[in-house]
Amino acid sequence: MEFIVNQDLSSLHTMGCRSTAQSFVVVYSLPELKSTLEEARQRALPITVLGGGSNVVFSEHVPGLVVKMGILGIEVLENFGSEASVEDAEVVWVKAQAGENWHHFVRWTLQQGLGGLENLSLIPGTVGAAPIQNIGAYGVEVKDVISEVSAINRNTGELKIFDRDECGFRYRDSIFKRDPGKWIIVEVTFRLSPKAPLKLDYAELKKFWESAGEPSSYLEVGALVEEIRRRKLPDPDVVPNSGSFFKNPTVDDQLYQRILDEYPSVVAFPSGVNQWKLAAGWLIQECGWKGFVDDGVGVFDRQALVIINPGYRPAAAIKGLASKIQQSVADKFGVELEIEPFIL
């Protein structure tokens, strides 16, 4: 495989930071990926895997080899039960390759009349990255419909198929994220259904359809989610960003009660025994950051969870602002905010 030297990565991730990779390659098939890994091993090049670049903040120089996943393909598996057609089936297994654009794949499933992914419409990125942080939105996480994940061990070249339990999914987390240097996801199999109930209970979704009219198909739910997201989140093609910059923190009951006493409007949801998930956006907003912009980086004025980079500033500037936000939230609420995107 030919590796490109000093590849400009600026347009290959959504945060807009100026960046170059020591070497770069796009792989379009499993054999290409395997031979690339072998060559990188021989040349002692550390590997960074890249999907759509929507959850990474690249430093000015990325050492080693950046491997962009370009493997494409979507396939409905034959063994979808004993039923004669997809429409009659209770469950339909669909396999998608890692390089497929996530939103295009979701749209395709909805157009086939298959339910399960509609609430995850318009999330940027690729199929292969979706399991990494167990992407979620509007009351659904991708783990709810993942059946299997196939991944290559970067060190041995072994292909392993993980069933859902083996993926160790948690909130914005999986074993692939917890063990970052080990696996490259090559394909994901989803368990979808033409009979899956619509999931419309998530508060923000409900508020919207109660005034706009209740959706009655997967495609209509997908369109509704797209509309809400377009209103709420900045388009990375217009304003560079990587979506939510912080995870919603979980705190124990004692800390939650202390915050609630002082700030009765705190946005929180029960999350397990004596645990509460706090809305990180609310915490950041209460610290006065919403709409703040300085020296080309800032906080989106409609959603405080999103750091924006209209000045196309380098990763150091993003990290600097993120630390200040973390410090102010810790000082005011005693809560630690964890960064969601990968700083590479």
Ligand X SMILES: Cc1cc2nc3c(=O)[nH]c(=O)nc-3n(C[C@H](O)[C@H](O)[C@H](O)COP(=O)(O)OP(=O)(O)OC[C@H]3O[C@@H](n4cnc5c(N)ncnc54)[C@H](O)[C@@H]3O)c2cc1C
Residues that bind ligand X (CB under 6 A): 14, 48-56, 69, 98, 123-126, 128-130, 132-133, 135-137, 183-185, 233, 236, 241-243, 342
Nearer to ligand X, 123 or 337 (CB): 123
Determine the Cα–Cα distance for residues 293 and 272; give it in Å rounded to an integer: 36
Q: Tokens 């005011």, residue? A: 332
C-alpha 327, offset from chain centre:
25
Listed residue (213, 146, 123, 137) closest to 172, CA to CA: 137
Closest approach, Cβ 24 to ligand X, in A, equals 13
Closest approach, Cβ 122 to ligand X, in A, equals 8
Nearer to ligand X, 184 or 325 (CB): 184
Nearer to ligand X, 150 or 194 (CB): 150
Nearest-5° Cα angle at 276, 270 to 281: 105
Nearer to ligand X, 94 or 137 (CB): 137
Closest approach, Cβ 78 to ligand X, in A, equals 25
Closest approach, Cβ 80 to ligand X, in A, equals 25
Closest approach, Cβ 335 to ligand X, in A, equals 21
Closest approach, Cβ 79 to ligand X, in A, equals 25
DSSP percent split of the chain into helix, strand, coil, nearest 5: 30, 30, 40
Determine the Cα–Cα distance for residues 67 and 25; give it in Å rounded to an integer: 5
Cβ pair 243, 54 in contact under 8 A? yes
Closest approach, Cβ 61 to ligand X, in A, equals 17
Active site residues: 172, 244, 340
At residue 176, the 3 state secondary structure works out as helix
Nearer to ligand X, 202 or 209 (CB): 202
Cβ pair 193, 114 in contact under 8 A? yes
> What crossing angle do the helices spanning 218-232 and 203-212 adopt, rounded to 10°?
110
Nearer to ligand X, 236 or 281 (CB): 236
Listed residue (136, 133, 165, 135) closest to 148, CA to CA: 165
Determine the Cα–Cα distance for residues 9 and 66; give it in Å rounded to an integer: 9
Distances (CA, A) of 327 to 24, 266, 321, 337: 36, 19, 10, 9
Listed residue (122, 99, 117) closest to 33, CA to CA: 99
- With the CA atoms of 162, 168, 174 and 179 taken in that order, what torsion angle do they form, in degrees rounded to the nearest 10? -80
What is the helix (H) or strand (E) element at residue 297, kind and residue range? strand 297-299
Q: What does the DSSP 8-state code read for residue 12? A: G
Nearer to ligand X, 100 or 286 (CB): 100
